[in-house]
């Protein structure tokens, strides 16, 4: 069960402290919508711990904490500061389906052993579980599966934590080993310098072309 706690106040009740406050709302299948305010620093700390797939004990003033997920986080596109938070209050007896982040480890070891390059195709797995079995992330040691060029790590290869059921397509490729492609850099071609004789001939031709207009002018005057 979660031991991550977050305090909240109902919006519009009492005087707010001068610290940065974030407007929020909590809702769920068995609860009414409640508008809240959250301390910015406290929320940032909790969000870094819990992400969006770990239970949080949301304590609204002096009421008993309720189990919630951080469901939606809105940020200012310019300042990147939090501007609104949605919390989803869970039915602890009902299974839910959500995405859990994948944390890949031993990537360098796998690339060295396979003498190839690892290509990542997916960063999350969709799972089904009861709220009590939720985890923030699933760690995967890729060196145990990816050992040669052409090896593929599929969703079905992942050993899930207790209580989690795979909802992603079992044949979905999470990561594979590809042959390292060497980039070939071509040096720009240098223009060949003209032979000494050719350079003189071109120079003389240029001079003749400049003199001809003058000769044509004189001939026109004489006529």
Q: How far apart are the first and last CA of the chain?
A: 111
- Does the pTM exceed 0.75? no
Domain boundary among 89, 107, 131: 89
* 39 and 83 inside one domain: yes
CATH no. for residue 65?
Answer: 2.40.240.10
Answer whether 184's CB lies under 8 Å from 114's CB. no
* 123 and 155 inside one domain: yes
* 80 and 125 inside one domain: no
* 101 and 171 inside one domain: yes
CATH no. for residue 163?
Answer: 2.170.120.20
Residue 10 forms part of a structural domain:
yes
At 23-61, the pLDDT tens digits run 999 999 878 899 999 999 999 999 999 999 899 999 999
Please report the sign of the dihedral spanned by the C-alpha atoms of residue 142, residue 154, residue 158, residue 132. positive
Domain boundary among 42, 59, 89: 89
**Total number of domains in the chain:** 2
Which residue range(s) make up the domain with 163?
A: 96-178
At 120-176, the pLDDT tens digits run 999 999 999 999 999 999 999 999 999 999 999 999 999 999 999 999 999 999 999
């Amino acid at each position: 069960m979660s031991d991550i706690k977050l305090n909240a106040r109902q919006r519009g009740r009492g005087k707010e402290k001068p610290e940065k406050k974030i407007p929020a709302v909590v809702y769920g299948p068995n609860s009414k919508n409640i508008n809240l305010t959250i301390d910015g620093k406290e929320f940032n700390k909790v969000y870094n711990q819990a992400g969006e797939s770990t239970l949080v004990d949301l304590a609204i003033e002096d009421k008993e904490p309720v189990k919630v997920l951080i469901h939606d986080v809105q940020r200012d596109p310019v300042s990147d500061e939090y501007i609104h938070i949605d919390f989803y209050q869970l039915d602890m007896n009902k299974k839910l389906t959500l995405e859990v982040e994948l944390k890949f480890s031993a990537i360098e070891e796998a690339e060295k052993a396979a003498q190839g390059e690892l290509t990542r195709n997916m960063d999350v797995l969709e799972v089904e579980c009861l709220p009590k079995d939720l985890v923030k992330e699933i760690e995967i040691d890729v060196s145990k599966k990816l050992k040669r060029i052409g090896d593929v790590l599929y969703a079905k290869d992942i050993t899930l934590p207790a209580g989690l059921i795979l909802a992603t397509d079992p044949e979905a490729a999470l990561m594979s080993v590809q042959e390292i492609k060497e980039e070939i850099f071509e040096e720009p071609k240098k223009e060949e310098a003209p032979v000494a004789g050719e350079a003189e001939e071109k120079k003389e031709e240029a001079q003749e072309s400049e003199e001809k207009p003058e000769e044509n002018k004189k001939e026109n005057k004489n006529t």
